[in-house]
């Protein structure tokens, strides 16, 4: 018998979409995260290209990507 459940959702600051859009006009952006891809559906429209989002990245993965 389930007596309760928790649901934890991410929230983003207002204006985030505008900031990312401004940066996208000047740069090619990538998101490197050690977290899972649960937020992919929310972030994908902001970043555009599917390959711009990289989840479950270790610190070594992130360093290698930057190099």
Domain layout of the chain by residue ranges: 16-66
Q: What does the pLDDT read at residue 40?
A: 92
Torsion of CA 21, 60, 41, 8, to 10 degrees: -110
Q: If DSSP codes are grouped into helix, strand and coil, which group holds residue 60?
A: helix
pLDDT attached to residue 66? 94
Give the mean pLDDT of 7-11.
Answer: 87
| pLDDT greater than 80 at residue 50 | no
pLDDT of residue 51: 79
pTM: 0.75
pLDDT in tens, 12-45: 999 999 999 999 999 999 999 999 999 999 999 9
């Amino acid at each position: 018998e389930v007596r309760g459940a928790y649901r934890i959702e991410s929230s983003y600051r207002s204006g985030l979409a505008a900031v990312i859009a401004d940066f996208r006009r000047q740069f090619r952006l990538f998101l490197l995260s050690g977290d899972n891809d649960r937020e992919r559906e929310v972030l994908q429209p902001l970043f555009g290209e599917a390959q711009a989002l990289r989840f479950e990245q270790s610190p070594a993965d992130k360093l290698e990507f930057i190099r």
